[in-house]
Structure 1
Amino acid sequence: MVNFMKLVQNENMKIYRRARTWVMLGIILVLPVLLSMLLYFASNSDETITGFSAMQLDGFLLTFLITIFSVVLAAEAVAGEFTWGTIKLLLIRPWSRSSILLSKFIAVVLFSLLITAIGFLVTFLINMAFFGATNDINEYIPELNAGAGVLFNELGHLFWLNYVTTLVIIAFAFMLSSALRSNGLAIGLSISIVFTAQLWSHLFLMIDKPWIKYVLFLHLDLTQYANGRGGPIADDPLTLGFAISVLAVYFVLFNLISWTVFRKRDVAA
């Protein structure tokens, strides 16, 4: 166990020694501050901009960037070793391939959790500083009273729902990273899923078949199930629990493929 933790630590060191990682962290820190400042000054002439709507906007933008940043790291986690020619040096060490793969996955997940936590706290604190606890949350959730605690919980719910999606996309990107030798190809294909998910969702919704409820793309936006909403299929309402269950199956499947491919692939070339 101690040796495995050292392996995870080594993978984390690879991530945080790169300048790109600190640029990502800097963006997560600075972006909500700049955006909230713009919204605050815009609210002088537009009274519809309030604390809750500002937090929502910041939250959606940040969770999208968090997904992109996490996908970039996940997609190059294994493929990057082939691109840089370091895969043989990694495999000759006294660790199994399964341990190496798991340590890489854990390191990427830890990074995604870190930037999610930072994004959440910065978004909450900066909007509380600019807008306070007085907000328009009752317009969206009438049964709740406005207040800092309510804002904290609702913003946390938004980040949590989006992080579940991020985790599944990380698993998909990690699968491509394990299967492909090209760093750039793994990153490109993974990011394309993020940008085209809504398009694929709309295309599948045009198919009037019961099996479409199990399609991955329809459940990548879990916010469509928030507050009792029935999801993307109008005539077949679904629940948040069902959507998470579908995503969990895909998450396990992607990781099984990653593990199988990485354990069996030939690295002699």
Structure 2
Amino acid sequence: MFNLVRNEWMKLFSRPATYVMTGLIVLAVIAATVITLFVQSLGDGQDITWQSQLQTENTQLEQTIATSETGFMGQNPEEQLAINQYALENDIAPNRAGSFWSYLESSTFLISLIGLFAIIVASGIVAGEFSWGTIKLLMIRPIARWKILLSKFITVGAFGLFLVAITAVLSVILGLIFFDPGSSVRLVFEDGQVIEKSMAAYVIRVYLFNSLDVIMLTTMAFMISAVFRNSSLAIGISLFLLFVGGTATSFIAMYYDWAKYSLFANTNLSLYEMNMPLVEGMTMQFSIVMILIYFTIFIALAFTIFTKRDIAS
């Protein structure tokens, strides 16, 4: 199996497109850093301390509570007020824009770009063998078909992790160089009290949560590539769902509870950290089970059809 994966990895990096995708990720991280620094420079002239900012925000929150209004994005104004007061009393500066940790958190949007590249690789890694006619060269070797397909799937996953690692490491390096350290403490309101948690653990969770859409759609693209042997179809469907699936599911969920059984209603686990499930009654355990069910279906279809279909057909 190791030799199969190494062979697929060597084939992947023998293509110029692989280096282009890697280079674009590096450029995207640098560009995001430059844009963040530029936006930060626009507000550098304002000599306002974080304590005064929180006090002003607390005044607004008290007005919101007095009028019984809902906070921004459904946040509980009383909980946010308690967090702000705790920060002021314990001298814990919040990680606002311009801090190292807020920069790392905002850099997670690049995972969508990584997903785009992973989908392209997953769509062509099987279908390309049929298009180029090299699939027969693989099949004449005394190796089980499922091992060949598994090595390709592992290669796709490894390439995605490779791009995520580049993004994370480069973001950390640039963040340490250009941004203020910020606070390593994240304040959250749980069980009626404010609790201090690790900011590093939170950023890691954000990376993982944002990766779920990418992982599932990459797996879908791999399945379509193996079943239909058509990379264009796999890329088209997967990219359409990547950019439209979440929005469409959110719209449907406003009117129908059955939307909770769709894939995209369950991949955004960060909603549970904000106590904002897409459909009332949904839990993180339910979403994890649904994700595993979809993942199993995609993998079962890919391996079953690939191992039983006549290659010459």
Q: Under TM normalisation by the shorter chain, which class is it?
A: 0.7 to 0.9
Match of 2:104 among 25, 32, 55: 55
Deviation at 1:32, TM superposition (A): 1.6
Deviation at 1:228, TM superposition (A): 4.7
1:256 aligns with 2:300: yes
Deviation at 1:151, TM superposition (A): 4.2
1:231 aligns with 2:280: no
Match of 1:144 among 196, 215, 224: 196
Render the CA deviation track for 1:71-111: whole Å, top value 9, x for unaligned: 11111111111112211111111111111111100111111
Question: Which secondary structure state, in structure 1, belongs to the residue aligned with residue 30 of structure 2?
Answer: helix
1:43 aligns with 2:44: no
The answer to whether the 8 Å contact 1:83/1:183 transfers is no
Q: 1:204 matched to which residue of 2?
A: 252
Question: Which secondary structure state, in structure 2, belongs to the residue aligned with residue 78 of structure 1?
Answer: helix
Q: 1:13 to 1:247 in 2, by over 3 A?
A: same
Match of 1:221 among 268, 274, 289: 268
1:189 aligns with 2:189: no
Matching of residues 23-42 of structure 1 within 5 Å:
23-42=20-39
Render the CA deviation track for 1:31-55: whole Å, top value 9, x for unaligned: 2222112211321223663224332
The answer to whether the 8 Å contact 2:108/2:207 transfers is yes
**TM-align CA RMSD:** 2.3
1:128 aligns with 2:172: no
Distance across 2 between alignment mates of 1:104 and 1:70: 12
Distance across 1 between alignment mates of 2:195 and 2:173: 24
Question: Which secondary structure state, in structure 2, belongs to the residue aligned with residue 144 of structure 1?
Answer: strand
The answer to whether the 8 Å contact 2:98/2:180 transfers is no
Q: 1:240 to 1:50 in 2, by over 3 A?
A: farther
Distance across 1 between alignment mates of 2:255 and 2:139: 46
Q: 1:15 matched to which residue of 2?
A: 12
Distance across 2 between alignment mates of 1:26 and 1:152: 27
Match of 1:178 among 217, 226, 230: 226
AA in 1 matched with 2:269: L
Gap runs ≥5 in structure 2: 45-95
1:114 aligns with 2:162: yes
Question: Which secondary structure state, in structure 2, belongs to the residue aligned with residue 133 of structure 1?
Answer: coil
Deviation at 1:28, TM superposition (A): 2.0
* Residue-pair matches, total: 257
Deviation at 1:139, TM superposition (A): 7.5
AA in 1 matched with 2:253: L
The answer to whether the 8 Å contact 2:29/2:171 transfers is yes
Which fold has the larger relative contact order, with Cα–Cα distance below 8 Å and residues 6 or more apart in sequence?
A: 1
Distance across 2 between alignment mates of 1:159 and 1:69: 17
Q: 1:267 matched to which residue of 2?
A: 311
Q: 1:165 to 1:241 in 2, by over 3 A?
A: farther
Deviation at 1:132, TM superposition (A): 2.4
TM-score w.r.t. the length of structure 1 is 0.86
The answer to whether the 8 Å contact 1:218/1:232 transfers is yes
The answer to whether the 8 Å contact 1:37/1:130 transfers is no
Percent identical pairs in the alignment equals 32
The answer to whether the 8 Å contact 1:91/1:97 transfers is yes
Q: 2:290 matched to which residue of 1?
A: 246
Distance across 1 between alignment mates of 2:97 and 2:274: 25
Gap runs ≥5 in structure 1: none
Question: Which secondary structure state, in structure 2, belongs to the residue aligned with residue 268 of structure 1?
Answer: coil
The answer to whether the 8 Å contact 1:120/1:156 transfers is no
AA in 1 matched with 2:27: V
